[in-house]
Amino acid sequence: MSQPTQIVIASNNEGKLREMTALLSGLGIAVAPQSRWGVDDADETGLSFVENAIIKARHAAGLTGLPAIADDSGIELDILNGAPGIYSARYAGSDASDEDNLNLLIDRVKRTGVQRPGARFQCVMVYLRHARDPTPIIAQGTWEGHIVSEPRGDAGFGYDPVFYVPTHACTSAELQADVKNTISHRGQALRLLLEKLSAILD
């Protein structure tokens, strides 16, 4: 299969788009966000990261007629029974801001009384050749760390300011962008996806 001239990224999240575009740059793959075609975010009605990623990719591919890459990602805390999980982007409500979600997570962690609880970022990324593709290519990345009680750093987005990365002794929001993209859940998933794509995009 020859390489497509264009792939749509099925997201309107500026933070995700910034990271995914950086990871895909220099690979000879032409990518653009779905907003270029006026595509709104899909309704995330799935009950898992993989379901939501496929929903988003099908939505963007269907409205643009292009192959699509989508991810669904979030943070999981065992002390909160895996929450926020797939609801990470709307933890404090459907119209919640990153700050709203972050503050709610901090509050709920403090209520448990557990210091530095374990946490992980999960990312499932999918590639669809077209909207009715019955065999999406799927990749997953997991990033382990723990939660700190006070936000630190001004890089990144979402829960990055409270996600402590033991290997680098700082929060995700304190990492340089190129370092984060090397070790993050999204970076892991996208590199694995690209490995799987290499066979069909030659």
Give the span between the Cα atoms of 145 and 59, in whole angstroms: 32
Specify the range with the lowest mean pLDDT, choosing from 25-34, 74-83, 138-147: 25-34
Beta-carbon count within 10 A of 73 CB:
25
* Boundaries of every domain in the chain: 7-197
> Nearest 5 degrees, angle CA 135-CA 18-CA 102?
95
* Domain 7-197 classification at class level: alpha beta
Confidence of residue 22 (pLDDT cuts 50, 70, 90): confident
d(CA 16, CA 168): 22
Q: Give tens-digit pLDDT for 116-134.
A: 999 999 999 999 999 999 9
Active-site hit among 40, 41, 71, 72: 72
What is the percent of the chain where pLDDT is above 70?
95
- Distance (Å, whole) CA 15 – CA 108: 24
Residue 202 reports pLDDT greater than 60: no
Catalytic annotation present for 178: no
Q: Between residues 165 and 6, which one has the greater pLDDT?
A: 165
- pLDDT at position 166 over 90: yes
Alpha helices by DSSP H, listed for the chain, are 14-24, 49-64, 98-112, 177-183, 185-197
Residue 192 has pLDDT above 70, yes or no: yes
Any alpha helices (H) in 32-83, and if so which ranges?
49-64
Residue 29: band (very low, low, confident or very high) from pLDDT cuts 50, 70, 90: confident
